[in-house]
Amino acid sequence: MTDLGQHLKKQGLATSTRQKYTAIAAAAGESDPVAWLNRRLTSKTPIGTVLPLRAAVKHFLLSEGYSAEEIDALLPKAKGRPNGLRDALTPDQLAAYYLAVEEEVDEPCRTILLLLPRTGMRISEVCNLRIENLVSRGGVKGLLFRGKRDEERFVPLNTPALKAVMAYVEQYQPTGWLFEGNSAGPITPHAVRIYTRRLREKHPELGDLSPHVLRHTHATHLLRKGADLRAVQALLGHKSINTTARYLHPDAGMLQEAVERMG
């Protein structure tokens, strides 16, 4: 997989994406990854699963010298069942979530879980932050980092988010990774998801809680407060505004507010 690793790096993909594609390609094997992909995909496979599997096999074939035309002819089309929309946490649920995190989650996952709905960052982006990513830009304290597609992004920290981060930094004095794991590297998204699963099981009122639902919550609450769609796109790090729009479907509370305003 050395050639694949070099190929992915040349594409400028984020470290987390390169790791994901390498793992998928390893699972597919080098003998017949196309057959492996075809076995994995059905009309019921969520499109969110189809796309990374297909992309990983495509990049592997490119690294092996296949042309783009040959690959398009070999690979199945990127069809699948659309991802179901997952509701964002309501304001009441979010308040209950913050309370549960404060009381029941150990560091550094505690601070990470306090940040996710306040920044809208992907779980992999938060886990891979370094202390130097905490910066001031134009007098605004925030996080400057390279996210998906290795593109630079600045996410301002609101007062509660900044308070949580600075309290963590003051107590633990990180010098490399902002949130260090058990082996001197960054904490893994898996370690954080363990806590979201525990919270979901212990607090069923939080619904289908996950790091992605927390990202969705951030976007939905920005929309509720009147944020410009382009600003939300920049904060979430989406290449296309159509992707942002999918996050911002009105929830039941927003629909009720709209109806109430009609009188």
Residue 207 phi, psi (nearest 5): 70, -145
Catalytic residue selected from 18, 118, 122, 221: 122
The DSSP H or E segment spanning 235 is helix 229-236
Continuous H helices in 75-179: 91-104, 109-119, 123-127, 159-172
163 part of the active site? no
Catalytic residue selected from 215, 216, 218, 221: 215
Angle at CA of residue 107, ends 105 and 111, nearest 5°: 85
238 part of the active site? yes
Sheet holding 152-156, edge to edge: 134-137, 140-146, 152-156
122 part of the active site? yes
Pairing of strands 152-156, 134-137: unpaired
Catalytic residue selected from 130, 141, 148, 203: 148
215 part of the active site? yes
212 part of the active site? yes
Catalytic residue selected from 212, 224, 246, 249: 212
190 part of the active site? no
Write the CB contacts of 64 (distance below 8 Å, at least 6 apart in sequence). 3
Residue labelled with tokens 């992915």: 8
- Give me the active site residues, please: 122, 148, 212, 215, 238, 247
